[in-house]
Amino acid sequence: MEKTLVILKPCTLQRGLVGEITNRFERKGLRLAGMKMVQLTDEILNEHYAHLSAKPFFQRVKDSMMACPVIVCCFEGVDAVETVRALTGVTNGRKAAPGTIRGDYSMSFQENIVHASDSHEAAETELKRFFNPQEIFDYEQATFGFLYANDEY
């Protein structure tokens, strides 16, 4: 099973959408393998968003991500990275398709509800950045046999 990182951004907490957003992933059939609330720091955001460091909006992104705590989640499933990305929609909430998380809950490029790993490699790196190994749990979900055909996993 593939694991991926989802960060519920400060805008999600401030708008009281944590339950609704995690519910969307769970209803799809993704298994929650880890979850915790953290206050992000400048140091971890410099690492996490290093690819944006030369952009003029870099500090604004960091400030937004430090506005209040975030919820970091590890979701697991077959093709979890691709599935989560499809559920979240495109980065700009105004352009995200209705039915996606961003399409239903966001009007912003920045305040767009969630961060989701964009590749298998990114998911692996990001999960290590935000979770210790003992914070990600492996357990059998009772509904597992009803989520996949026996030859899909």
41 is in an annotated binding site: no
Give, for 18, the enclosing helix (H) or strand (E). Answer: helix 18-28
150 is in an annotated binding site: no
DSSP secondary structure code for residue 96 in this structure: S
| Phi/psi of residue 34, nearest 5 degrees | -170, 145
57 is in an annotated binding site: yes
Burial 74-110 (b: 16+ CB within 10 A, else e): bbbbeebbebbbebbbebebeebeeebbbbbbbeeee
31 is in an annotated binding site: no
Q: Is 54 helix (H, G, I), strand (E, B) or coil?
A: coil
94 is in an annotated binding site: no
| Cβ pair 101, 24 in contact under 8 A | yes
Indicate if 120 belongs to the active site. Answer: no
From the list 48, 51, 115, 120, the catalytic residue is: 115
Give, for 83, the enclosing helix (H) or strand (E). Answer: helix 80-88
60 is in an annotated binding site: no
Binding-site entries: 9, 57, 85, 91, 102, 112
Annotated binding site for ATP: 9, 57, 85, 91, 102, 112
Positions annotated as catalytic residues are 115
